[in-house]
């Protein structure tokens, strides 16, 4: 596939294997491990390949331990791959050239980079010095971030006095003062309440749009990905499972439709219609294979006192959950990789 | 240049924030005063019995005490707290943020934490040094002044490199909570000129833990007792050790990023 612009990010057969120490339980084994360490190889990323175009926002999905963070860390230049290649903005990330580092940022939801005891504004001042941001650019960037995130009242406060949501806002803003073109966001909404999550999401979308920034985002919250990314990359057990549009993911991995009916009065023996997901008073939710959804709908309408009926795709969370809980042979990466649109 | 600007900024922020906590200042004042008193009492006890300790007169030993406070204050104000934080960062994974910054990472981890109140120790050191020099009365010629300054800078570089090497070990042994304390307790020995110690200890305090170069050698420079050979040796070590520390740091970083495996 030839594109008019070079990809912002290009990954070829990237692999990472960790060697982890192993210790049997028990005192004798512990003592033996003092001089003889047994290690075993753990494959964190088992050869993944993808491209991301400049300005694209891509959701990076996978269960815990799938290799998301490891991949992100390689692309941010923190880890050397065991094999394979990657180019981000034309640089090989793990060379950590300053010209590359000045153009990218890494945000990890579960870790702080603002200094705990000093006011937010002082941490920003340090970042300004580190990135050598000219004072006018800095003021401009801060004003813009303030407009999007309402940072004003938070700036004079020490980080330890901020709530989790406030802290995340400040973390993100601090990571974007130098206006990076490449953003690696690892679980940026972790632990936040729904309002704060929405806030952060809207902000990331606005920033990416305004600055044509490329964003690679991992999250446990499907809502994050649904709101931000048109394209998702799913990795599972270190391998690429799916790469394409979010809608396609649902189509491909969910052979089911959800049918919801509202009844006029209670009816017995609903089991004959198929798998019942839930019954809430007069609202019945059923699951049916895609191919049988139409026939089921007809039967329901004919045989039951239906007031209202709707057919929908199951929630994405449920789809993803099915993908990840599938046994290894079913979710064989090589078999399920889709070609991206 | 960037390093100096960053250091200055950390210092400024440290001062601004620490001014809120006056109790810390009072505590540090107390701690420094006790340290100074102990040092002076020690000198007093020794010189109640004799006028000469291994060739050092009381006022010359005062010079040693002054330099001891000055160098110790410098190390404890910036290098030690910064490296302590660096080791914490490795344990908690927050070193990642340092490594994604477009500045030399070793520089950044060396100057990032400033204990402002250690300025008290530095001030005491300079004060004691001035008093000692006045009491010594003999004019400090340009040669002594130059030897002192060169030896002091060399000593500072050697101490920095030594601490850096200790801290870098954290890449291999994740739990090394107290490694920098080794230096701190050894440094206590530097309150006396290392020439008064038996030769095995003197060698250890020169080459194993380079206290001799940090305190005794600059003091020798100031009182005009430093041989050119020793000064040259100090300078050579001040070049070699930071280079070694740098090499070791890169080795550690390679391990951190999994490039050496």
pLDDT per position as a tens digit, B8-17: 888 888 887 7
Residue B152: pLDDT band with limits 50, 70, 90: very high
Q: What is the pLDDT of residue A113?
A: 86
Residues from chain B that touch A118, judged by Cβ atoms under 8 A, are 13, 17
Q: What are the C-alpha distances in Å from B102 to residues A76, A101, A103, B107? A: 12, 5, 9, 11
Domain count, chain B: 1
Q: Is B1 on the interface with A (CB under 8 A)?
A: no
Q: What is the DSSP string of B18-73?
A: HTT-HHHHHHHHHHHHHHHHHHHHHHHHHHHH-S-BTTB-HHHHHHHHHHHHHHHH
Class of residue B23 by CB neighbours under 10 A (exposed 0-12, middle 13-18, buried 19+): exposed
Model confidence over B165-192: pLDDT tens digits?
999 999 888 777 777 887 888 888 888 8
d(CA B217, CA A15): 53
Q: Say if B261 falls within a structural domain.
A: no
Span A244-267, mean pLDDT?
Answer: 82
Q: Tell me the per-residue pLDDT of B226-243, one tens digit each, with 9 for 90 and over.
A: 888 889 999 999 999 999
Q: Where are the alpha helices (DSSP H) in B117-195?
A: 119-136, 142-168, 179-188
Separation of alpha carbons A125 and A132, rounded Å: 10
Contacts of A67 in chain B (CB under 8 A): none
On whether any CB of chain A is under 8 Å from the CB of B99, the answer is yes
Q: Which residues pair with A51 in a beta bridge?
A: A10
- Residue A256: pLDDT over 90: no
- pLDDT at residue number B259: 62
Of A102, A113, A118, the CB nearest to B97: A113
- pLDDT tens across B97-137, in order? 999 999 999 999 999 888 888 888 899 999 999 998 888 87
Q: CA A29, CA A37: separation in Å to the nearest integer? A: 10
Tell me the residue range of the domain where B134 lies. Answer: 2-256
Rounded to the nearest integer, the mean pLDDT of chain B is 86
- For residues B14 and A57, the model is more confident at A57
pLDDT computed for residue A141 by the predictor: 92
- Cα separation, A158 vs B16, in Å, equals 12
Quote ipTM for the complex.
Answer: 0.80
Q: Which residue has the tokens 């070699």?
A: B240
As given in the structure block, the two tokens for residue B198 are 């038996």
Out of A75-89, A203-217, B67-81, B170-184, least confident range: B170-184
* pLDDT on residue A334: 40
Torsion, Cα A206 A211 A216 A221, to 10 degrees, reads -10
User: CA dist A228 to A163, A168, B214, Å?
Assistant: 24, 17, 57
- How much is the pLDDT for A73? 92
Count CA within 13 A, CB hemisphere, residue A86.
28
CB atoms within 10 A of CB B110: 23
Name the residue facing A101 among B17, B102, B257 (closest C-beta): B102
The mean pLDDT of chain A is: 84
Instruction: Please report the pLDDT score of residue A247 as a whole number.
Output: 78
Query: Which of the residue ranges A22-26, A51-55, A218-222 has the most confident prediction, judged by mean pLDDT?
Result: A51-55
Please report the pLDDT score of residue A223 as a whole number. Answer: 76
**Across B29-37, average pLDDT:** 85
- Which of B2, B91, B93, B101 should we substitute to test contact with A (largest number of A Cβ atoms within 10 Å)? B101
Q: What is the pLDDT of residue A338?
A: 40
Is B95 domain-assigned?
A: yes
CB-based burial label for A157 (10 Å; 0-12, 13-18, 19+): middle
B8: tokens are: 């200055």
Query: Which own/partner contact pairs does B51-57 have at CB distance under 8 Å and 24+ positions apart?
Result: B53/B192, B53/B193, B53/B196, B54/B193, B54/B195, B54/B196, B55/B195, B56/B193, B56/B195, B56/B196
Q: Over the stretch A67-106, which tens digit does the pLDDT of each residue have?
A: 888 999 999 999 999 999 999 999 999 999 999 999 999 9
Percentage of the residues of chain A whose pLDDT score is greater than 90: 28
In a domain, B210, yes or no: yes
B160 found inside a domain: yes
CB pairs under 8 A between A and B: 69
Min distance A210 CA to chain B CA atoms (Å)? 23
- Residue predicted with more confidence, A192 or A134: A134
A98 in contact with chain B, both atoms CB, cutoff 8 A: yes
Measured in degrees and rounded to the nearest 5, phi and psi for residue B24 equal -60, -40
Domain-embedded: residue B249 = yes
With both helix axes pointing from N to C terminus, report the angle between A164-176 and A120-130 in degrees, rounded to the nearest 10. 20
Binning chain A into helix, strand and coil, the percentages to the nearest 5 are 40, 30, 30
Residue-level pLDDT at A151: 87
Q: Is the pLDDT of residue B147 over 60?
A: yes
Mean pLDDT of A15-32: 78
Q: Quick check: A117 contacting B, CB < 8 Å?
A: yes
Tell me whether residue B202 is exposed, middle or buried, using C-beta atoms within 10 angstroms of its C-beta: 0 to 12, 13 to 18, 19 or more.
Answer: middle
Residue predicted with more confidence, A331 or B78? B78
| Chain A hits for B254, Cβ within 8 Å | 80
User: Across residues A181-210, what is the average pLDDT?
Assistant: 87
In degrees, rounded to 5, the angle at the alpha carbon of residue B255 between the alpha carbons of residues B250 and B261 is: 130
- A41 CB near a chain B CB, below 8 Å? no
Question: Reduced to 3 states, what is the DSSP secondary structure of residue A312?
Answer: strand
β-partners of residue A86 are A11
Closest by CA to A200, choosing from A216, A187, A214, is A187
Task: Give the DSSP H or E segment for A172.
Answer: helix A164-176
Give the pLDDT band (50/70/90) at residue A4: low
Q: Give residues with Cβ within 8 angstroms of B225, minimum separation 6.
A: none
> What's the confidence (pLDDT) of residue A221?
73
Q: Which residue has the tokens 């880890």?
A: A79
Structure confidence at residue A196 as a pLDDT band (50, 70, 90):
confident
Instruction: Based on DSSP, count helices (H) and strands (E) in chain B, helices before strands.
Output: 13, 0
User: What pLDDT does A2 receive?
Assistant: 47
Query: Which SS3 state, helix, strand or coil, does residue A119 take?
Result: strand
How confident is residue A328, by pLDDT bands cut at 50, 70 and 90? Answer: low
A125 to chain B, any CB pair closer than 8 A? The answer is yes
* B68: in domain: yes
pLDDT value at B88 more than 60: yes
Which residue is closest to A119 within chain B, CA to CA?
Answer: B17
The answer to whether residue B175 neighbours chain A at the CB level (below 8 Å) is no
Interval A264-279 mean pLDDT: 84
Which of residues 51 through 90 in chain B touch A, CB cutoff 8 A?
none
Q: What is the pLDDT of residue A23?
A: 67
- Is B198 an interface residue toward A (CB < 8 Å)? no
Mind telling me how many Å the CA of B175 is from chain A's nearest CA? Answer: 15
Residue A111 and residue B93: Cβ atoms within 8 Å? yes
Q: What is the pLDDT of residue A149?
A: 85
Inform me whether the pLDDT recorded for A337 exceeds 60: no
Cα→Cα distances B181→A17, A145, B65, Å: 36, 43, 20
Classify residue B85: in a domain, yes or no: yes
Averaged pLDDT for residues B51-64: 83
Q: What structural domains does chain A harbor?
A: 9-250 (3.40.50.300), 255-312 (3.30.70.980)
pLDDT over threshold 50, residue A249: yes
Q: What is the pLDDT of residue A128?
A: 92
Minimum mean pLDDT range among A23-32, A164-173, B4-13, B78-87: A23-32
């Amino acid at each position: 596939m030839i594109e008019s612009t070079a990809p912002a990010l290009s990954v070829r057969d990237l692999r990472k294997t960790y060697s982890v120490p192993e210790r049997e339980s028990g005192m004798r084994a512990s003592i033996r491990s003092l001089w003889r360490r047994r290690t075993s190889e753990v494959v964190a990323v088992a050869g993944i390949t993808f491209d991301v175009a400049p300005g694209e926002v891509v959701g990076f999905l996978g269960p815990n331990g799938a290799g998301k963070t490891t991949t992100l860390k390689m692309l941010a230049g923190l880890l050397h791959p065991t094999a394979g290649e990657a180019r981000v903005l034309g640089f090989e990330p793990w060379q950590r050239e300053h010209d590359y580092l000045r153009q990218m940022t890494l945000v990890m939801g579960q870790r702080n980079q603002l200094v705990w005891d000093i006011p937010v504004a002082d941490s920003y001042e340090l970042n300004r010095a580190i990135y050598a941001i000219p004072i006018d650019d800095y003021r401009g960037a801060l004003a813009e971030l303030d407009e999007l995130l309402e940072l004003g009242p938070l700036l004079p406060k020490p980080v330890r006095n901020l709530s989790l949501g406030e802290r995340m806002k400040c973390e993100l803003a601090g990571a974007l003062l130098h206006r990076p073109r490449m953003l690696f966001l690892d679980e940026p909404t972790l632990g936040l309440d729904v309002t704060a999550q929405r806030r952060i999401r809207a902000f990331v979308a606005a920033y990416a749009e305004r600055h044509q920034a490329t964003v690679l985002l991992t999250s446990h919250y499907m809502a994050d990905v649904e709101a931000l990314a048109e394209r998702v990359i799913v990795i599972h057990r270190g391998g690429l499972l799916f790469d394409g549009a979010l809608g396609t993911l649902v189509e491909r991995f969910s052979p089911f439709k959800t049918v919801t009916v509202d009844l006029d009065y209670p009816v017995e023996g609903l089991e004959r219609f198929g798998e019942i997901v839930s019954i809430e008073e007069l609202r019945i939710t059923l699951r049916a294979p895609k191919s049988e959804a139409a026939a089921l709908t007809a039967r329901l309408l004919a045989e039951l006192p239906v007031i209202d009926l709707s057919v929908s795709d199951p929630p994405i969370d449920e789809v993803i959950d099915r993908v990840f809980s599938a046994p290894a042979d079913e979710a064989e990466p090589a078999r399920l990789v889709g070609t991206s649109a | 240049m960037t390093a100096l600007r960053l250091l200055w900024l950390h210092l400024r922020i440290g001062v601004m924030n620490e001014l809120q906590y006056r109790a810390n200042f009072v505590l540090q004042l107390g701690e420094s005063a006790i340290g100074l008193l102990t040092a002076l009492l020690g000198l007093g006890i020794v010189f109640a019995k004799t006028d000469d300790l291994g060739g050092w007169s009381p006022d010359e030993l005062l010079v040693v005490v002054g330099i001891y406070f000055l160098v110790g204050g410098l190390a404890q104000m910036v290098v030690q707290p910064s490296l302590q934080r660096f080791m914490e960062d490795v344990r908690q994974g927050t070193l990642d943020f340092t490594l994604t910054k477009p500045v030399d990472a070793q520089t950044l981890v060396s100057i990032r934490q400033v204990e402002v109140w250690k300025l008290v120790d530095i001030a005491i050191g300079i004060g004691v040094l001035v008093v000692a020099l006045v009491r010594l009365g003999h004019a400090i010629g340009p040669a002594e002044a130059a030897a002192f300054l060169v030896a002091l800078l060399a000593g500072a570089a050697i101490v920095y490199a030594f601490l850096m090497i200790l801290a870098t070990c954290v890449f291999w042994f994740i739990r090394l909570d107290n490694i920098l304390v080794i230096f701190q307790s050894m440094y206590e020995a530097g309150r006396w000129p290392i020439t008064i110690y038996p030769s095995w200890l003197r060698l250890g305090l020169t080459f194993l833990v380079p206290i001799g170069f940090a305190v005794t050698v600059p003091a020798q420079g100031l009182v005009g007792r430093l041989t050119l050979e020793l000064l040259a040796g100090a300078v050579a070590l001040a070049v070699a050790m930071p280079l070694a520390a740098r090499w070791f740091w890169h080795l550690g970083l390679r391990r951190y990023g999994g490039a050496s495996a």
